[in-house]
Amino acid sequence: MTMPRSYGREKGEKQEEVKREFIEGLKTIEGELGDNLYFGGESFGFVDVVLVPVTSWFHSLEICGKFSIEAECPKITAWIERCMEKESVSTSLPDPHKIHDFVLLLKQKMGIE
């Protein structure tokens, strides 16, 4: 998934292409999740631990990219909510709103938008 790194630097059709590729990547991951509660099946495991921190950036990506991960990948959204019910996850991840503030600051410093 390339969107988090390159999305803000692209414009127009290239930006839309990066967004489409990101959503395709999420849909691939969603396909691997399938109807399971977690990527390992019924219990929270290694793949969940590796992937869930990335989701802290989703709020900012949705705002900047003008799309909804929930609309595109509802199983991913449900998985995120299940993961966030675990205290070990919810207390260790950064606040998505603070990440968005950081992204806006970076964009300002880089002269993007």
Query: Cβ contacts of residue 80 below 8 Å, gap of 6+?
Result: 52, 55, 58
Closest by CA position to 79, among listed 102, 51, 100 = 51
Q: What is the pTM of this model?
A: 0.86
**CB-based contact 22:3 (threshold 8 Å):** yes
Neighbours of 71 (CB within 10 A): 10
Q: List the domain boundaries for the chain.
A: 3-110
Closest by CA position to 56, among listed 111, 8, 102, 108 = 102
9-37 pLDDT, tens digit per residue, is 667 788 888 889 999 999 999 999 999 99
Give CA–CA dist 63/67, Å, rounded. 7
87-109 pLDDT, tens digit per residue, is 999 999 999 999 999 999 988 99
- Identify the CATH assignment for 3-110 out of 1.10.3720.10, 2.40.50.100, 1.20.1050.10, 3.90.870.40: 1.20.1050.10
